[in-house]
Amino acid sequence: MRTPADKKITIESKQKQRGKTVKLEFNETTLWKTGTIVFGVLFIIAILTGGFGKGNGTDNALPSAPSQAPPQGALPIVKVETPGDSIFKGDTNAPVTIIEFSDFQCPFCGRFYQQTLPQIEKDYIDTGKVKLVYRHLPLSFHEQAQKAAEASECANDQGKFWEYHDMIFENQAALSDAIFSQWAQQLGLDVNTFNDCLDSGKYTSKVNRDNSDAQKYGASGTPTFFINGQKVVGAQPFPAFQAAIDAQLS
């Protein structure tokens, strides 16, 4: 790349209040190189901080809440109840409970499942430190989310909730009215029983209850988590969950 010819650039700025004129002189080559370096540094920072083409980590019908995990104590503790029919994994008596309000069609929920949940399972759920409760928050603009939630509950009738949960998140792009029975068959469920459950709307009221509870607790976007009542919003990376969980364990 051709470097501009060396010459002086003068910048003058009058300070009206003091009646002075400030004059700055730069070598054009130096100024050009400095500008290039500054632009490069800003570009790298933008990439590292997700400044280009990255969402805020939540799906929300309303303007989204910040996706940063709040410092401990920054927000009040929310007492989130766990109904007796709630589905969970981990030790029942684990010292930390994470309640997840999620939407099976939400891409950020899929991101959490793919990128963060495996490490939480390995370090905390499998070691008896965390119990994860899954509750439904199907957003109205996700056409398949409500039925997917009900389908997962029908799979739970046959002891395969988490397998069906994983099947959905690993195949989000395939969500359709016709796919739910196919996934049930792939998982070895009794398809006729599954279809009867889904077609009857057996779990519509449960999913609606979860949705209503989510609004009551201030969860309007997905995914939203409550870690022993501490609200964390968005598809946070593992270190954000690690910090929040460890703070509860300490």
Same domain, 90 and 29: no
Residue 5 has, within 13 A of its CA and on its CB side, a CA count of 1
Q: Tell me if the bond preceding 4 is cis, omega within 30° of 0.
A: no
Please check whether residue 184 lies inside any domain of the structure. yes
- Residues 75, 44 share a domain: no
User: Do 134 and 104 share a structural domain?
Assistant: yes
Let me know: does 103 contact 222? Beta carbons within 8 Å: yes
Across 75-86, average pLDDT: 89
pLDDT, residue 48, reads 36
- What CATH number is given to the structural domain containing 103? 3.40.30.10
What proportion of the chain, given as a percentage, has pLDDT over 70?
71
How does the average pLDDT of the chain come out, rounded?
Answer: 81
| 76 shares its domain with 99 | yes
| pLDDT tens column, 105-141 | 999 999 999 999 999 999 999 999 999 999 999 999 9
> Does 133 reside within a domain?
yes
How do 224-227 and 230-233 pair as beta strands? antiparallel
Read off the pLDDT of each residue in 40-47 and give the average, rounded to a whole number. Answer: 39
Q: Does 163 reside within a domain?
A: yes
- Could you tell me if 105 and 228 are in contact, meaning their C-beta atoms sit under 8 angstroms apart? no
**Do 195 and 219 meet the contact criterion of CB atoms below 8 Å apart?**
no
Condensed to tens digits (0 to 9), the pLDDT of residues 152-191 reads: 999 999 999 999 999 999 999 999 989 999 999 999 999 9
Q: pLDDT tens for residues 28-41? A: 444 334 444 443 43
Residue 95 and residue 30 share a domain: no
Q: Do the Cβ atoms of 80 and 99 come closer than 8 Å? A: yes
| 244 located within any domain | yes
105 falls within a domain: yes
pLDDT of residue 60: 63
Q: Give yes or no: residues 64 and 126 share one domain.
A: yes
- For residue 209, what are the domain limits? 59-249
Q: Do 88 and 131 meet the contact criterion of CB atoms below 8 Å apart?
A: yes
Q: Which of 167, 186, 169, 163 is nearest to 87 (CA)?
A: 163
Structural domain includes residue 13: yes
Q: How many domains does the chain have?
A: 2
